Structures are given as structure tokens and as C-alpha cells.
Amino acid sequence: MYELEIERVFHAQHALRLYDGTMEEMHGHDWRVFVVVASEQLDEIEVAMDFHELERLVDEVIKPLAGVTLNECELFAEVNPSAERVAEHIYRGVLAGLPLSVKLVRVTVTEAPGCKASYYE
């Protein structure tokens, strides 16, 4: 099995609805996004997938999130814009664009150093 991982970064703000129903203060993060894909085979040029193509796909998925307030995005209208939900959204977007020979293993996002959330199926 071959595995690739890329890292991308975008900036966005959010505020979470807390357990007691109140909203935390609006704040921003440099969200680091780690995408891991795998393939059992290499293609005709001996790669599992072109790194640049994976980066382009991830950039396309995160572009609508960059520089915005996540609470105001339609994507998060019904859910808390938590790191877990951001990871899930990116996972689903990347999954839809991958070649059939490549499996999406996991998407991890960090809000701040030491604070990571991952989504995988």
C-alpha cells in the first residue's frame, strides 16, 4: 500500500455554540489541513497520485472557507462550525474528486498547535 499526505492552510473565523447554549467569542484560526490518501498500486508514471493534483483538489474544496466567518457559511447553517465538522466537509469534498484507484484515508484539521480533529469513514 502506498500513502501520500499533503498539507494546506487557510484562515477563517468561527464561534461555537457551547453546551449551555451561549456562543463563544468570535475568533480566527490558521486552519492546517492534512489529507491522507492511499493506493494499492502505482500508475503508469510510478506514482499513487500526482501531489499537485491532490493539492489542486484540496484547494478547490477549502477555497469557499478561506477568509470567511464559518458561522455565516451555508455549509454550517445547521451545525456548529467545529473542527470536526470542518474536517468532515473537506473529507466529503475531496472524496468526490479522487480517481477510483485512490482511497481517501483521513482528513485532519488543526485549529491551533496541539488541537487536531480528524474525519474518516
- Sorted by where each starts, the structural domains of the chain and their CATH numbers stand as 2-119 (3.30.479.10)
Mean pLDDT (whole number) for 5-25: 97
Q: What pLDDT, on a 0 to 100 scale, did the predictor assign at position 44?
A: 93
Residues 35-62 pLDDT 10s: 999 999 999 999 999 999 999 999 999 9
Residue whose C-alpha is closest to residue 49's, from 91, 102, 12: 102
Q: What is the pTM of this model?
A: 0.95
Report the b/e string of 49-86 with b at 16+ CB within 10 A: beeeebeebbeebbeebeeeebbeeeebeeeebbbebb
pLDDT band at 114 (very low <50, low <70, confident <90, very high): very high
pLDDT band at 34 (very low <50, low <70, confident <90, very high): very high
Q: What pLDDT, on a 0 to 100 scale, did the predictor assign at position 92?
A: 98
Residues 58-75 pLDDT 10s: 999 999 999 999 999 999
